[in-house]
Amino acid sequence: MKELDLNSSAMGRRGFLQAFTLLSIGGLAFGFSSVLARPAAAAKTEFVVINGWVLPARHFRHPQA
């Protein structure tokens, strides 16, 4: 069997920094896209569950005069 060399790492400092930078940029891009893709608060749809049926809440609101 080969003796384990504890002095050599699988990923060096440069590789770690490159991976960290790449993941950070990807996380920022994903975070910005999810913020931009969110619907407006006024367009939020609410639902009501009655006997296992999921129905839109707008059908149960009283019309405002």
- Per-residue pLDDT tens for 38-53? 565 555 678 888 888 8
Span 19-37, average pLDDT: 76
Find how far residue 11's CA is from the centre of its chain.
28
- 1 within a domain of the structure (yes/no): no
**Tokens for 53?**
């049926």
- 40 within a domain of the structure (yes/no): yes
Residue 6, pLDDT above cutoff 60 = no
DSSP 59: G
**Tokens for 18?**
């490159």
- 2 within a domain of the structure (yes/no): no
**The domain containing residue 43 runs over which residues?**
13-60
What is this structure's pTM?
0.37
Q: Given pLDDT bands bounded at 50, 70 and 90, which one contains residue 12?
A: confident
- 8 within a domain of the structure (yes/no): no
- Per the listing, tokens 């609101």 go with 61
Map residue 37 onto helix, strand or coil.
coil
Domain count, the chain: 1
The whole-angstrom separation of Cα 40 and Cα 14 is 42
- 5 within a domain of the structure (yes/no): no
Top-confidence residue, 24 or 42: 24
Residue type, 35: V
